[in-house]
Every structure is written in C-alpha cells, then in structure tokens.
Homo-oligomer: A and B are copies of this chain.
Amino acid sequence: MQSPVALIPQLAGHIIAAGGKRLRPLLTLASARMCGYQGRRHIGLAASVEFIHTATLLHDDVVDESELRRGLDTANSLWGNQASVLVGDFLFSRAFQLMVADGSMRTLEILSNASAIISEGEVHQLITTNDTDTNEQAYLEVIEGKTAALFAAACQIGAVMAERSADEEQALRSFGTGLGMAFQLVDDVLDYSAKQEALGKTVGDDFREGKITLPVVLAFERADADEKAFWRRCLEEMDQREGDLPHAMQLLQKHDCLNDSLERARAYGRNARTAMDVFPDGEIKQALIDALDFSIERAY
C-alpha cells in the first residue's frame, strides 16, 4: 500500500490497521499449505486476496454511507467519499500488480473472475435493497456473488499454487463457497441478534439501510397483512420510527426466521465439510474446518 501520494498509505493503513478476521488471506495460506505447497508465493497471493476485499470494503462503505466499521470511523467519514473510492481503486490495482508479480495466469484468471462476480453481486444487492419482494433465491445469488466468490477463489488458488489435480481444485472451491455462504448467512443473522449486541457491535445496520437479507425474506413470506405493511413501510418506504427495530426483531423471533436462516448456514457448512473429504486428515485441514465451525458457531 506504499505510494508517494501520502493520503494513500494513510487511508489504506487506517482500514487495514482496523483489523478484522483476515479470514480470506488465511484461507489462501492454509489451502496452499494443506495442498503441500512449500514456497513463498502464498504470501503475495494472500495479500492480493485481502486487497481485493479491502477495496470492496472501502467502496461498500461509500455505497452504504457507513460511518463506523469495526468500531472505528470509516475511511469515508474521515477522508470523504472521493478519497475512499480512489484509494479503493488503487488497492484493487495493487492486487493485480501482486498477481502479475506472482506470474501465474491461472491465478489471475481465477481472481479476475472473482472480482467481476463480486461487483455483479454488489450491484444485484443494490437492486434488491428496499425490495421486499426479493425471494430466497435472489438473496442467495447476491451473497454467492458478493461474498462466496472470493472465499472460493481464495481457497482454490491454494490448490493451483501446489499444482494439485482439477478435482482437488474443485474441492477447495466448494469448501470456500460453502464457507462463504455460511459466513454471510451468519453475518446477516447476527445483524438482528442479541448476541451481536453482547459482542459490542451495532445491531440493525441492514435494517436501517433497507437491505433485504434472508431473515427478512422469510419474515415477509410468513407475515400477515399488518406485518407485510410494517416491513414495507420500514424497508421500502424507509419510514423508520422509534421502536421499529425491536418490533422487527420480535417478528423475526415469532416466525423463527433467525433459526431457519442459521439452519441454511449449517447446511452450507455441511457441504463445505464434505468437500474436504478428498483431502487426508491433518493439522491444516483441521484448522480450515475449525474456521468453518467458528464462522457458524459465532452466532451462539
């Protein structure tokens, strides 16, 4: 993230220092090692994966007009939307420079495809925002694009670096997809959950932004006429009042929407775990499965 233009390392440093789980680069590092890769290329490629993710976070915060991320002021609230858009572009370019330095056309293919699919998913999400008619399939397509595609690519390139078979590449891709889907589903559940509040994070961001996540899709399908009117007022007309978020959380409980969403997450988790059967048991495989389990269990 170095640059003679000082604002770039400042702004990029802010969002990177803010932390986060670093789950995506971890997947690249662990997948490569599990596949027996012994070199140093996995480090640059893991950084490349994280830069793509960081660029999308910077742009997401502009798109969502977010003021807080991980408890800190967002880059856009500190330096303005303009700087966030442009430094996001810079990190995105840097990610490709890292891939070029790595020198594998196959990896460039996988990650440029993932990048295109991420933006498609983000645009798709933008279209479903404020649309209470969004169904489960549309929601799943959105999160497969915006989240699971990069998880899948992050895992797959581990097998590519180690020159493993197409079957093993596909197995790691499936693991990443299942993990990514489960991860995003749990994220979307936590946004309405008391557990999130206990962790000191804000609750209801998706609600305030009018995002239609699976808990809301299910609640709307199961709603009576009054409840449908409530969801439409809050999420389509964006007319939100005191007490609306607690009421929304109550409706999600009443119709068991959080539990049912978690059940979907668990099902994706089982798919991910099964995909790993082609690899022999070992410490790193176990670490990847532990990351999967953690991604789901953090909801409790």
Chain A residues in the interface with B (C-beta under 8 A): 3-5, 7-8, 55-56, 59, 62-63, 81-83, 85-87, 89-90, 92-94, 96-97, 99-100, 103, 105, 108-109, 112-113, 115-116, 118-120, 122-124, 126-127
- Which of A56, A90, A118 counts the most chain B CB atoms within 10 A? A90
- Chain B: minimal CB distance from A185 (Å): 21
Interfacial chain B residues near A122, Cβ < 8 Å: 86, 89
Partner of A87, one of B5, B108, B113, B119: B119
A to B CB contacts below 8 Å, 27 in the list: A4-B120, A5-B123, A5-B127, A7-B126, A8-B120, A62-B82, A63-B82, A81-B81, A86-B119, A86-B126, A87-B123, A89-B118, A90-B116, A90-B120, A92-B115, A93-B116, A93-B118, A94-B116, A96-B112, A96-B115, A97-B113, A97-B116, A100-B105, A100-B108, A100-B109, A100-B112, A105-B105
- In the complex, which residues of chain B have a beta carbon less than 8 angstroms from the beta carbon of A123? 3, 5, 7-8, 83, 86-87, 90
Beyond the given pairs A5-B124, A7-B126, A63-B85, 16 more chain A to chain B contacts, judged by CB atoms under 8 angstroms and listed by A's residue number, are A4-B120, A5-B120, A5-B123, A7-B123, A8-B123, A59-B89, A62-B82, A63-B86, A81-B81, A83-B126, A86-B122, A87-B123, A94-B116, A96-B115, A97-B112, A105-B105
The distance from the CB of A52 to the nearest CB of chain B, in whole angstroms, is 9
Given A8-B123, A127-B5, A86-B59 contact (CB < 8 Å): yes
**8 closest A-B pairs (Cβ-Cβ)?**
A90-B119, A93-B116, A93-B115, A96-B112, A89-B119, A63-B82, A86-B122, A100-B109
Q: List the B side residues contacting A105 at CB < 8 Å.
A: 100, 103, 105
| A110 CB, min distance to chain B CBs, angstroms | 9
**In the assembled complex, which residues on chain B have CB atoms less than 8 Å from the CB atom of A113?**
97
How distant is the Cα of A131 from the Cα of B11 in the complex, in angstroms? 20
Can you name the residue of chain B whose Cβ is closest to the Cβ of A115? B93
Q: Which residues of B contact A119 (CB under 8 A)?
A: 86-87, 89-90, 93
Contact partners of A81 in chain B: CB under 8 A: 62-63, 81
Interchain CB contact under 8 A, A108 and B96: yes
Instruction: Give Cα A63 to B82, complex, Å.
Output: 5
CB nearest to A79 among chain B residues? B126
Chain B residues lying within 8 Å of A108, measured Cβ to Cβ, are 96, 100, 108
Residue of chain B at shortest CB distance from A108: B100
Select from chain B the residue with minimum beta-carbon distance to A56. Answer: B89
Give CA–CA (A118, B99) in the complex, Å. 18
Measured CA separation A276–B109 after assembly (Å): 35
Instruction: Please indicate the chain B residues that have their CB under 8 angstroms from the CB of A97 in the complex.
Output: 109, 112-113, 116
